[in-house]
Amino acid sequence: MGISEQVLAALPELGQGLWLTVQLTVMASLLSLCMGQLGCYLQLRSYRFWRFIGRCYVSVMRGTPAIVQLFVVFFALPTIGLGGQPMLAAVIAIGLNSGAYVSEILRVNHSMVSAGQLEAARTLGLTRRMTWWYITTPQVLRASLPMLVNEFTILLKTTPLASVVALTELTYSGQIVIARTYEASTVMTIVALGYMLIAFPLIKCARYFELKRG
Structural domains in the chain? 5-213 (1.10.3720.10)
Whether the predicted pLDDT of 72 surpasses 60: yes
Give tens-digit pLDDT for 89-144: 999 999 999 999 999 999 988 877 777 777 787 888 777 778 877 788 888 888 88
- pTM for this prediction: 0.89
Mean pLDDT of the 16-42 span: 95
Residues 83, 86, 88, 89: is their CA dihedral positive or negative?
positive
pLDDT band, residue 2 (cuts 50/70/90): low
Distant-in-sequence, close-in-space partners of 116: CB < 8 Å, separation ≥ 6: none
Q: What contacts 24+ positions apart, CB below 8 Å, involve 109-116?
A: 109/140, 109/143, 109/144, 109/147, 110/40, 110/44, 110/136, 110/140, 112/139, 112/140, 112/143, 113/139, 113/140
pLDDT at 25: 96
Average pLDDT, the chain: 90
Mean pLDDT of the 185-197 span: 95
